[in-house]
Copies of this chain bind each other. A is one copy, B any other.
Amino acid sequence: MSDELYFEDFKLGHKFASMSSTKVSAQEITEFAEKYDPQPFHLDEAAGKSTFFKGLAASGWLTAAIVMRMRVENIKVHGGMIGAGVEEIRWTEPVRPGDTLRTESEVIALRPSQKRPQYGLVTIFTNTFNQRDEVVMKSTVKFLAPMRNA
Q: Which residues of B contact A51 (CB under 8 A)?
A: 79-80
- The count of identical subunits is 2
Contact, CB under 8 Å: B72 / A39: yes
A37 proximal to B (CB < 8 A) = yes
Chain B nearest CB, measured from A121 CB (Å): 12
Q: Which residues of B contact A144 (CB under 8 A)?
A: 52
Chain A contact residues, CB within 8 Å of chain B: 32, 35-41, 51-53, 59-61, 64-66, 68-69, 72, 79-91, 139, 144
With A51-B80, A53-B82, A86-B90 known, 19 other A-B pairs at CB within 8 A are A37-B65, A37-B68, A37-B69, A37-B72, A39-B81, A41-B80, A52-B79, A52-B82, A59-B68, A61-B61, A61-B64, A61-B68, A61-B83, A85-B88, A85-B90, A85-B91, A86-B86, A86-B89, A86-B139
